Each structure stands twice: as structure tokens, then as C-alpha cells.
Structure 1
């Protein structure tokens, strides 16, 4: 060892910024036989080995360690290479460990130098990762992970990852995470996929593993903007297949050619016990996240935003392949925003989906919020849905609960504009939901049986072309509609100034626009003439006079309070004589018709039981 590389411990500790107590601890760790960091190299039997030199340390580099021909036991070799800084000891008892650059360095003479470190902790920079956005750092990650059982620190930087080509000794392309491994990606660190023309690849793969965590606040970024091909949809940020006890937490996953993340099977082995928490999925091309064959999956406090590019283009798509099953899945407290198609899909066409809970999420955007097909045992509860197309779509499902959701501002001009739409399903319970400003039917049931629509509050919904705010269509039979409150859209309210047998003069605050209230209904809600409703056939904005039909039974006067409303033709409409044995009872529908002569219920079905509904009498 050249003398010019020999420096005092005090000088080195000062150079490393270690003073006071920290320096004392460090010094003691290299002086006390059988204690401190020596144990990590020599083990608990170090008292039997040669005593360390405690009077000096040496500054060196990885290259110089590899060139070392005369290693000294007990001397602390301080590596000063940028990003690889650390302390090494020569282990004379080890003749077999392989050189991995990071924790073991082997010299030309066969000497093994081992790094001082916390047990199980490694830093990807130790293994040669540059984090410069240019160098391919994939191999450094593989070396850091080794056989697993480690915590891998990924400090700030941009790490270019070869996501489409298997490196020597690796089973899959991308970063192969092993059992019992935690990867901590610093919030200023980015794992960036190298551009490729391949259609199927992944930046991080967790295949057939257990006890894996990827977290830390960092970024996993795909290459959709630099992609060299035009086909395929399989480029993933993180792929979990056939693995158990996996946590993906506190990450930003964006710009992937396929999905931000995938949870599915490996061969016939499903993934299980997977937690995805506080992850922001953004601008991924196919899905934010796909769940295939998996069970016991929790998706919590995530953001699924701006998925777009190739179908299905959803925030989450739960869609097992043939022979697979998705079960016991909870999606909670997450935000779905501006995805190109349905925000959340359950599609059990090929493989069964059951026991899914969708709770306390927010849905914003232009497309459907939740779409469930062929699934069973689904609970959709407490969600806030503010989208342009249908809020909740349930088709060919059984045993579904849609409860306590707020659905509002469904304003699509086409047919896909219901608040909650149930088709060809059975045992669907729709209860205690609030539906506000829904252009189409607030609750629509088509060809469904043994369903319940109970205690829903429908406000400011419908348009004149709608048959009903609650619509039972086709052969919907054996359903129970009860306890719902329906009120059409409120256009204007006030106290009348005067009236005649066929007119009512509205308050001064009424519209000054001619025909502003034409074809709407005016309801007398208090004072003289209470309980009457009349169609407005003409309106003069100059004198605030509405022509009404038919004439009033009791002419209102200046004590009469009124509401002018518009919306669906009826509150409840049973549209077909193939609809059998439905029950309609105890619904509050006082202000829920556009037909003066209707109570708000139009029944074209057979054997319908209608009782105890609260409506305006036809007076």
C-alpha cells in the first residue's frame, strides 16, 4: 500500500464531516475487537481473528482495490469514487464471494474487500448506477438486488432502464425484483424506460415473488412519447405477476406505452395480498392499472388521471383472462379524473369477478364513472360521481349494492346519460343515493329482476323527452320501488301577484323573457289554491303573466306561493306490458311530472302494485 494513500483517522473523519460524537462512534467501531462494523464482515467470532490496525485508514478507489496485491487486515479502506463512497475491510477468510462492485470488491490477487453497511441495506449507486439519464443503469439495479432480502436505496437522479431485453443471468427484462426486497425510490429519482419498438415490456417486474415493496415518492416513467414502434399495448411501468405480499406505495407512474401497473397471474399462479397506495397514475396509454387474476388487492388513495391512447383507456380495468379469477378487491379513497373512456371497469366476460368494494372515491370527467359487467358481490358505496355520461352502469351482474353515492351533472346529449343504469341483472339494491342534475333517467332499469330502488333522492333531474326519472323498461319484473323522493328541475319560485280562472301573474322577480316558462308546470305550494298544478301554455315577460291549462279549480291570489318546474314527463314510468309484478310504494313525487293530468306515475306493466305514494291530487 503506497504511503501517500495512508492518512490519519482524524484527518479522514474531518474530511467526511464526522466530528464529535459521530466520529467517536465511528472510531470505536474500528477499534473495538469483536464489535461494531467488524461484526458485519468477520461475524461474532472476530475475537479469534487478527487484530485490526487501529492507527490508520486508507483513501482509495474501486479500481485501486481491484488492483491491490498486498491487502492488509483491519485497515479501513475508504472508497472515494463519486456515488460509491464508503468504507471497506479486507476479509481474509472469504475466497468465494463474487465481485458485485457495491458490497464486495475482488482484487487481482483474489482478496475480498467488503463494505461497512447496515445489514440488508444497499444503494444502487454503489453498484455503478450513474443516474444521469444517459447510462443504462439496469445491470446496477440487478447487482444491488442480488438474490433479494435487501433494501435498495435509489437516490436522486434519472436512471435509464432497459425494459425490453433480458440481461445475462436475469429471467425477465427490466428490473427483476426478488423475494424480501424493498426498493426505496427517492422523490427526486426517476426510473425511465429506454425507448424501444417492442410491444411488451416492463420497467419493474415482480414475477413469482413474495414480500416485495416499491415506495419512496419517486417516479416510474415510460417511453410512450419516444416509443419507436406503433403497435402493441403491453409496455408497463410495474408488472406484478403471480406474487404474494406486494406493496407499491408513494409513486408517480406516467407515460407508459401500455399500463401504469399490472397485477395478474404468472402461469396459473394468481397474485395476492397486493397493496397499491398513494400512487399517481398519469397519461398512460392503455390503463392506469389493470387487475387480472388476483385476489386480496387493495387500491387506496391513488389518482388515476388522463389515461388515453388505446382501448380500454380506463383508470382501472379489472378483467381476468379465461381461467383466472379476480376476487376480494377494494378500491377506496381514490380520484379518477379525465380518463378517455370509463374510469373504472369490472369485466368478468372471460373470468369471474366477485367480492369487490368500490368506496369513497371521486370520479371526474366526460365518460362513464363505473361500469360492471358479469360480476357478482359488488359494493359501490359512498362515491362522489361528477361526470358527463352514465354514473354507474351495471349489466349482467348479480348481488350488487349501489348505496350512498352522489351522482351529479350527467349532461351528455345522447342515450348514455343515466345516473344509475341497471341492465339484465338481478338482486341489485340501489339505495340512499343522491342524484342531482342528471339529464337522462336518474335511475334506469332494463330487463332486470328482483332489484330494489329504495330511499334515493332525485333532485333537479330530467328533460322533457325523458319518460321518467325512474324508468323500468322492457321486461323488468319483480322489482320494488319504494321510499324514493323525486323532484323535477326548479325554474322559478315566488308569490303570485294575482290570478284569473286561466292565468297567474308571477312575482316581479320572474323572467322578463317571453315564453320563458312555456310547457312547464306551475305548482301552488302554499296559500289559496294549494295542491293544484297547471301547464303553462304561454308566458308574457312584460307583465309576468302565465296562461294556464286547464283553468284553476280554486283561483290563486296574492297569498299563493308557487313553484315552476320542468324535467321528465313522469317521476316513475313502467314502460312495457312485459314488465310484471313490480311494486311501487311510499315514494314522494309531489313535484315530479310534466303532465298536468298525471300523478307522476305511468304504469304500462302488468300486475303492478301501486300504493301509498305521495303525489299532488288531480284538482
Structure 2
């Protein structure tokens, strides 16, 4: 129910109401008179002025009064003191409400308009409501003012905003802002099943709105489904916990499909893997499928698990979702051995994963799959199978996905590497125009390459890897099969295999401005590679490690090594198999390395000369340039 109440200004306004608080002290004794009735669960009593103000606030009471007056069901006349204007005269009485047998204590009323205390059960038993009165529900955690809507005969009882009596009368809560799940009967005690109450609160927001979960632990035994656009489910931060019930067997905890403007924010969502050992499905904590302009923000998601051969997921933005964001979330302890789970999984168009942390996710921390123009920005992954992945599982091409800002500490996925670009499973669709930049990768334990790029059954075309710092890898620092690939300004240290290595058919490759220290190879070009240019790289062998600088395997064509600096390499600075003839002009141990020389029986006259200087700038001689060679 969308609140439609307006602000109320009496003769003295809201400030005047606050001043009158001091004049109400004489009426506090009425709280004591009624306390016994309320605590014993007996019939309702008159509510004190101070109690009503503290329960719904001066502004809230004023809004109720103003609208009820304007609609003809007001409970106070203007005139007299502000106190009397809001509450009426101070006398109290016990009355049989219109002969219904319900003994309710009421204020002496003005024009038959009263503030009346009642329980939910008493409202549901009421046959003839008092015209124009406000009913203040006293049930613990469901307190609040209601009014009788005589014009409504169709609204359903939703336990929180609309209460329907046995005679069909509709009582509607007076409220502004979010709806509280505890109004609908949620206990939040960590043991009661609150699924139905939370779902009722969500279902009440037919036109969109905020469903609020105060600080508590709420147990759910089945999926909480969001049925309407523009619904926001919001908690109080880490003190609000939604937890799957022990032994429950269902997939998604919070679910939305084909909706717009959905938000889930400020809470912990716990899939409770340890106490759901009989699961026959995987689990997903928050799952939005084919949604648009939706957000998951500032949530902690934990303890999901894979099942049925499918990875579990902490937060999933699936299907054809468009312009959805996951921001400021922490994904932790997702998956166990043999039942892996991702931290975040997205697919669709223009979706973003921003400023998130994945910790101990046994599959992949952050996944962009079968997407266009989607990205990972400013995230961290620690002790995950892989830190991140950009893949395509479609038969059609996808384009424009990126990683911009990612820190990965420890990974263990030997098949995919620390960052997976493409898929090891045959998929004919291509990955086009993919960019990975501003990445730091630190490996203390684990296996596999740091970055592994290949699309089995398809192609990776247009891949940029830049500003990447890699320290340690199970095998290679960067291993790739791609066309139109640029690897620039990457620093690769302490690999057990090659620092950078191509594999299979690769075309139009540029490796530029990289620094590689250690590894059995600095750069290894392996397979049918063509049009490759290594420009301005620094390769330094690690003392005590058997190594090569640059090596070409197979039958590479049009290979150019230009102004690379290669130092401290034991076996061969630049080597290549017989089927490859690279064009070389680089420096090795401060000497020029080139295979561009020619043999000659006679030389022409010296026409020019190239001067060479030592480290202090003194000339040490000239290299002659001849006008002809025969």
C-alpha cells in the first residue's frame, strides 16, 4: 500500500506539538493504568498521548490526522489546545463498541472520532467499526495505527498493511516509507520460519516500494520471490541476516525474473551449506534473471554450494539482464571440494561488478559469461579457484567485455588459470574486443597460468592485456591463443614456465613494453603464429634457473624482434627452430643481436659511418656503411 498521507500543521504546527509534550506529563499515569491489560494480553486500553507519539512520531500522527480530517473520517476537530486538537478531551471510558461485545477503553471522542487500542484478533472480530476512528494495534512488533476503509470491499488480508474482519471490513495501516517485515509477523529470532511473513511483505508492494528487515536473523525454508517492478529489499547491514533453514532443499534464496528496478541491499544472505547436506540442487543466494536496471548493494553472501554438476553462485545476474550492478558486496565461503561455487555470475548486456570482494570461492570469484559491454571494476579475489573469468558459452559472438582494476591473491584452477578468458569447452561463438587492465596477481600457492586466454571451438579476436603485474604462477604468466592481441606494459615475475607464451594458431600479435623476470622462457612463441612483433621488452633470466630469452617453436612467419633487451640468460638469448626465421634487431648483454647480416666477397667504398660511444660518452670508434656488397 502506497502511503498517501500529507503533513499536518495545527494551530501551532509541529513545533507546537513538541512544546505540548511537557504539558502531557500529567497524563502519563494512563500508561500505568493500561500496562497491565497490555501485558496480560487482555482487551485493549486507551493509548496515552506520549505512547502514541513515541510509537508513530509527531509527524506520523499529524499525517494521519490531516488526511483523515480531509477525507471526512478525521478523529479531531481543530480549535482548543494543540493537545486537545490531536487527542480530544482527557477523560477516558470503557465502552461496548456499538454493541459488539468488545470492551475497548476509548478516549472521550469528538464527533464520534476516537483513538482506540486493539489487537489484530480484535480487529478481525469486529463487525461494525467506529466511524472515523483510528485503531492502534498493540500486538508486539506489529504495532501501529490503522483506519477503517468503508469504501473497500475487495482488498485481501495481507497480515501487515490490510486486515480483514470476519464480516469483511477492511482496516488499513497508516504508514509512510518502508514496510517492516515484522508487521507481517516475522519473528527474526533465528529459529522461527519467517518465509511466509517476509513473502507477504514483499507481495504487499504491488506498485513498488521498500521492504525493510530490521536487525535480526530470519530463517527461510523456500525461495523469496519478488513479483513486482521497483521493489527494494533492504536490511540494516551485517546485523540483518537471512539464513536458509536447516535441511531445506531449494535453489535460490531471493529471486526475481524479468523485472525492472529491483534492489537488494544492506544484509547478510547465508545459504547455510553446512546444515543442508541432503541438497539435490545447487544453491544461489541472490538470483536475478533477465532483469533490467537492478542492483545488489552492500551485501555479504556466504555458504552457497554446487549441485547436480552445476556450480553454485553467491549472486547471480543471469539470462538477458541489462544494466544491472553488483556493488560493494562480499562473497565468501562459496562452494566446497567437489561442489564448487562462483562468487558472482553475470550474463547479459552492460552489467557491472564493482568494488566487490570474493573470498574462498572454490570455482571463480567473478564471472562474466555470454555478455556484451559488461565489466569487473575495482574488485578483489583471494583464495578462489580462479579470480575472474570472461567467457562465451553461446554460438553467437559477444563483444566489449572488460576487467579494469582487479587484485587476485592465490588461485588453484590449473585448467582455467587465475584469470580465464574464453572457455576450455568447445563453443563456436567468438569473444570480440576484450580488455583486461590494471590487474595485480600474487600467487603464494596454487597451480595453472596466471592468465589463460583461449576459446575452444571459436576464437578470441581483439584482446588487450595491459598494466598487469604478475608475481608467481603455477606454469605460465600469460598463456594465449588469440588474433589481434596486444600485451603491453605487463610485469611478469617468478613463473615456473614461460613468462608469456602463445599456443596454437595466433595472428597479429604485439608484445610491447613488458618486463619479464625468471621463468624457463621469457617469451615462447609456440605453434602456427604469424605477424608477431616483440618491441621494447626487457627479459632478465633468474640466476640459477635454466632459461631462454625468446624462443620460436614450429613454423612462425613474419616475426619481428625489435629493440628488446635480454640479460642473464643461460642457454640462448634468442632462439628458433629451423622452420622459423625471425627478423631480429635487439640487444643482449649490451650487445647488438641481429640476424640481418649478409656475406660478401668484395665490398664497395665506405660511403657513411655510424659512431659508437662508451658509457661516459667518449667515442670508441665507427661502424662502416658500404655503398655496395657483391
* TM-score, structure 2 normalization: 0.72
How far does residue 192 in structure 1 lie from its aligned partner after superposition?
A: 1.2
Match of 2:560 in 1: 583
How far does residue 587 in structure 1 lie from its aligned partner after superposition?
A: 0.7
Match of 2:371 in 1: 326
How far does residue 186 in structure 1 lie from its aligned partner after superposition?
A: 2.0
Match of 2:399 in 1: 354
Match of 1:78 in 2: 136
- What is the distance in 1 between the residues matched to 2:294 and 2:197? 22
> CA separation of 1:228/1:287 partners in 2, compared to 1, >3 Å: closer, same or farther?
closer
Matches within 5 A, 1:287-326: 287-289=341-343, 291=345, 293-308=347-362, 313-319=363-369, 325-326=370-371
The range that moved more, 369-378 or 52-61, is: 52-61
The range that moved more, 349-358 or 361-370, is: 349-358
Matches within 5 A, 1:110-259: 110-118=168-176, 121-146=178-203, 147-163=206-222, 173-187=223-237, 188-196=239-247, 198=249, 201-216=251-266, 218-229=267-278, 231-232=280-281, 234-257=282-305, 258-259=312-313
Match of 2:580 in 1: 606
Unmatched tracts of structure 2, length 5 or more: 1-36, 77-86, 89-106, 108-114, 306-311, 423-429, 594-630
SS in structure 2 of the partner of residue 142 of structure 1: helix
- What is the distance in 2 between the residues matched to 1:85 and 1:306? 43
How far does residue 443 in structure 1 lie from its aligned partner after superposition?
A: 0.8
- What is the distance in 1 between the residues matched to 2:442 and 2:419? 11
SS in structure 1 of the partner of residue 256 of structure 2: strand
SS in structure 2 of the partner of residue 210 of structure 1: coil
Q: 2:516 aligns with which of 458, 469, 481?
A: 458
- What is the distance in 1 between the residues matched to 2:133 and 2:121? 17
- What is the distance in 2 between the residues matched to 1:131 and 1:176? 20
Match of 1:406 in 2: 469
> CA separation of 1:10/1:569 partners in 2, compared to 1, >3 Å: closer, same or farther?
closer
Match of 1:276 in 2: 326
Q: 2:418 aligns with which of 360, 369, 376?
A: 369
SS in structure 2 of the partner of residue 567 of structure 1: coil
Residue 47 in structure 1 maps to residue 81 in structure 2: no
> CA separation of 1:136/1:175 partners in 2, compared to 1, >3 Å: closer, same or farther?
farther
SS in structure 1 of the partner of residue 121 of structure 2: helix
Q: 1:7 aligns with which of 32, 46, 61?
A: 46
> CA separation of 1:226/1:148 partners in 2, compared to 1, >3 Å: closer, same or farther?
farther
SS in structure 2 of the partner of residue 428 of structure 1: strand
Deviation track 1:582-611 (CA, whole Å, cap 9, x = no partner) reads: 11011111x24114xx5x111325231111
Deviation track 1:492-513 (CA, whole Å, cap 9, x = no partner) reads: xxxxxxxxxxxxxxxxxxxxxx
Unmatched tracts of structure 1, length 5 or more: 164-172, 320-324, 490-564
Match of 2:547 in 1: 569
Paired residue total: 484
Task: Determine if contact 2:45/2:118 at 8 Å carries over to the other structure.
Answer: no
Matches within 5 A, 1:336-485: 336-339=381-384, 341-351=385-395, 352-367=397-412, 368-373=417-422, 374-387=430-443, 388=446, 389-396=448-455, 397-410=460-473, 412=474, 417-423=475-481, 425-447=482-504, 448-459=506-517, 461-462=518-519, 466=520, 468-485=521-538
- What is the distance in 1 between the residues matched to 2:589 and 2:478? 24
- What is the distance in 1 between the residues matched to 2:243 and 2:410? 29
- What is the distance in 2 between the residues matched to 1:201 and 1:8? 46
How far does residue 68 in structure 1 lie from its aligned partner after superposition?
A: 2.1
Task: Determine if contact 1:73/1:91 at 8 Å carries over to the other structure.
Answer: no
- What is the distance in 1 between the residues matched to 2:120 and 2:155? 16
- What is the distance in 1 between the residues matched to 2:48 and 2:224? 42
> CA separation of 1:592/1:430 partners in 2, compared to 1, >3 Å: closer, same or farther?
farther
Match of 1:501 in 2: none
- What is the distance in 1 between the residues matched to 2:560 and 2:47? 92
How far does residue 242 in structure 1 lie from its aligned partner after superposition?
A: 1.5
Task: Determine if contact 1:282/1:288 at 8 Å carries over to the other structure.
Answer: no
How far does residue 359 in structure 1 lie from its aligned partner after superposition?
A: 1.3
> CA separation of 1:153/1:289 partners in 2, compared to 1, >3 Å: closer, same or farther?
same
State the structure with bigger RCO (CA 8 A, min sep 6), 1 or 2.
Answer: 1
Deviation track 1:358-396 (CA, whole Å, cap 9, x = no partner) reads: 111100113221011252211010011112431111114
The range that moved more, 85-94 or 249-258, is: 85-94
Deviation track 1:303-362 (CA, whole Å, cap 9, x = no partner) reads: 112123xxxx2223334xxxxx411111011111111x2222233244444211111110
Matches within 5 A, 1:448-597: 448-459=506-517, 461-462=518-519, 466=520, 468-489=521-542, 565-576=543-554, 578-589=555-566, 591-595=567-571
SS in structure 2 of the partner of residue 96 of structure 1: coil
> CA separation of 1:30/1:236 partners in 2, compared to 1, >3 Å: closer, same or farther?
closer
